[in-house]
């Protein structure tokens, strides 16, 4: 099978995973999260954690667990004019139970629409304030006649657990790279299911090799999940060298990388280098303390080198947090492209070592060591020779191979291959 065929196949596999996850009603806690992790667990072995309600996590407290079985608004004839069974978006997330009959005038205070996008259903939640409500299209609301409506939300909000999962790809060193995605949104295909799919298949790809770093994949609800992980892993945080938050990974927009709070961390430089070298359309954005869970990992007390990779960023596409963020928005080839960029970036991250020149006084004789002879007949012989000279020049213990690639303008792969050759000849050491 060709590389193009492989790429197409993995894109279609990721899309199949998104299709399976799409109908589930997820929130920051509850059985929808567990069902999501059960499906991901068919692709990857997961260590699932259950953290009890009331557990103190940094400045937060794990909330009560929310589960829902059914919800609807029915007219006088018993017709469900708003139906949770048709879409999990139809219920305000974390709605407390309700069973009542009320006139439309009273019900309106609990109905959420998008007047500027009248055909779409919004995604709304009320996590930390007891409330109930329904989300529907403005067109549906406008068509409702006055009268009494039966209102029913069969939900529970009770002490339980917050659920998250980890998958670890062991590396040759204990230092870790975190890859995080959020599992708390209901039927939103791009935000967040495409990120879950890319993270899942990235973990599988890394497991096929033996990476340098240990890669820890986090599947957790947004905000409270990352905060909970940080609170419970204070000793492990010291090992985290790099990180990437994945979201909005399957829409047709160009790739967008948001830098870590540090702004010049190695992951920031690697992502910029890979995106520029690939000549993909892309945008590099500066850090802001708003967005996904990079803001938790980058908070000043932790200050981890964690950036965020999306295609079109959050709130940047009209389908964001609406029923139009559906299976038609997500494309297999876009997820495959996001996955490819992650693999390229981590390949650079894994090989970006610092070396010391063991023959630093003058230029060592490369021909005597067979290094020039090894280039004979290669179409890129001149590039490979220049890469060796650049690696020797900057192997002072202070510059990594990414520095060499950036300064020389040479491809990182050529620089890394030169370092391997020079290391094999005993001219440099890590």
Q: Is residue 21 part of a domain?
A: yes
Q: Are residues 369 and 252 in the same domain?
A: no
Q: Are residues 250 and 338 in the same domain?
A: yes
Q: Are residues 154 and 170 in the same domain?
A: no
Q: Are residues 251 and 143 in the same domain?
A: no
Per-residue pLDDT for the chain (430 aa), expressed as one digit of tens each? 457 778 899 999 999 999 999 999 999 999 999 999 999 999 999 999 999 999 999 999 999 999 999 999 999 999 999 999 999 999 999 999 999 999 999 999 999 999 999 999 999 999 999 999 999 999 999 999 999 999 999 999 999 999 999 999 999 999 999 999 999 999 999 999 999 999 999 999 999 988 999 999 999 999 999 999 999 998 999 999 999 999 999 999 999 999 999 999 999 999 999 999 999 999 999 999 999 999 999 999 999 999 999 999 999 999 999 999 999 999 999 999 999 999 999 999 999 999 999 999 999 988 888 887 655 555 677 888 899 999 999 999 999 999 999 999 999 999 999 999 999 999 999 9
Q: Are residues 142 and 200 in the same domain?
A: no
What CATH code is carried by the domain that includes residue 118?
A: 3.50.30.90
CA quadruple 317, 321, 325, 330: dihedral, nearest 10: 60
Give the whole-angstrom CA distance, residue 427 versus residue 306.
Answer: 34
Q: Are residues 55 and 131 in the same domain?
A: no
Q: Is residue 69 part of a domain?
A: no
Q: Are residues 18 and 117 in the same domain?
A: no
CA quadruple 262, 266, 269, 273: dihedral, nearest 10: -160
Q: Is residue 15 part of a domain?
A: yes
Q: DSSP H helical segments within 324-397, as ranges?
A: 332-351, 381-394
Are 11 and 332 in contact by the 8 Å Cβ rule? The answer is yes
Q: Are residues 147 and 295 in the same domain?
A: no
Q: Are residues 49 and 93 in the same domain?
A: no
**Structural domain for 396, as ranges:** 354-429
Kindly report, residue by residue over 284-320, the tens digit of the pLDDT. 999 999 999 999 999 999 999 999 999 999 999 999 9
Domain count of the chain?
3
Question: Of the candidates 140, 158, 176, which is a domain's last residue?
Answer: 158
What CATH code is carried by the domain that includes residue 223?
A: 3.40.630.10
Q: Is residue 222 part of a domain?
A: yes
What CATH code is carried by the domain that includes residue 412?
A: 1.10.10.10
What is the DSSP track for 218-229?
A: EEE-TTHHHHHH
């Amino acid at each position: 099978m060709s590389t193009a065929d492989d790429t197409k196949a993995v894109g279609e596999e990721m899309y199949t995973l998104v299709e399976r996850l799409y109908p589930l009603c997820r929130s920051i806690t509850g059985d929808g999260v567990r069902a999501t992790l059960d499906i991901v667990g068919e692709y990857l072995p997961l260590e699932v954690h259950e953290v009890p309600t009331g557990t103190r996590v940094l400045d937060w407290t794990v909330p009560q667990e929310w589960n829902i079985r059914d919800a609807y608004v029915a007219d006088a004839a018993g017709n469900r004019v708003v139906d949770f069974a048709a879409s999990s978006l139809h219920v305000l997330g974390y709605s407390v139970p309700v069973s009542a009959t009320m006139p439309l005038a009273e019900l309106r205070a609990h109905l959420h629409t998008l007047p500027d996008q009248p055909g779409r259903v919004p995604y709304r939640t009320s996590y930390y304030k007891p409330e109930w409500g329904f989300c529907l299209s403005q067109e549906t609301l406008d068509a409702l006649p006055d009268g009494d409506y039966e209102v029913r939300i069969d939900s529970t909000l009770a002490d339980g657990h917050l659920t998250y999962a980890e998958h670890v790809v062991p590396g040759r060193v204990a230092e870790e790279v975190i890859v995080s995605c959020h599992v708390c949104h209901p039927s939103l295909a791009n935000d967040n299911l495409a990120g879950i799919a890319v993270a899942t298949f990235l973990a599988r790809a890394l497991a096929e090799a033996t990476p340098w770093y240990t890669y820890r994949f986090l599947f957790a609800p947004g905000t409270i999940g990352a905060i909970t992980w940080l609170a419970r892993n204070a000793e492990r945080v010291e090992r985290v060298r790099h990180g990437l938050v994945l979201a909005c990974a399957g829409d047709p927009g160009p790739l967008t990388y948001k830098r870590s709070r540090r702004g010049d961390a190695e992951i920031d430089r690697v992502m910029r280098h890979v995106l520029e070298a690939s000549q993909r359309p892309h945008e590099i954005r500066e850090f802001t303390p708003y967005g996904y869970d990079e803001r938790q990992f980058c908070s000043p007390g932790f200050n981890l080198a964690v950036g965020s990779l999306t295609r079109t960023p959050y709130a940047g596409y009209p389908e964001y947090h609406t029923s139009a963020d559906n299976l038609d928005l997500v494309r297999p080839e876009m997820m495959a492209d996001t996955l490819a960029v992650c693999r390229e970036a981590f390949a650079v991250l894994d090989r970006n070592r610092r070396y010391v020149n063991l023959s630093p006084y003058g230029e060592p004789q490369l021909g005597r060591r067979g290094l020039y002879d090894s280039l004979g007949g290669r179409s890129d012989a001149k590039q490979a020779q220049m890469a060796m000279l650049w690696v020797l020049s900057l192997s002072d213990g202070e510059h990594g191979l990414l520095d060499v690639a950036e300064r020389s303008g040479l491809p990182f792969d050529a620089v890394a291959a030169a370092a391997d050759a020079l290391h094999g000849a005993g001219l440099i050491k890590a």
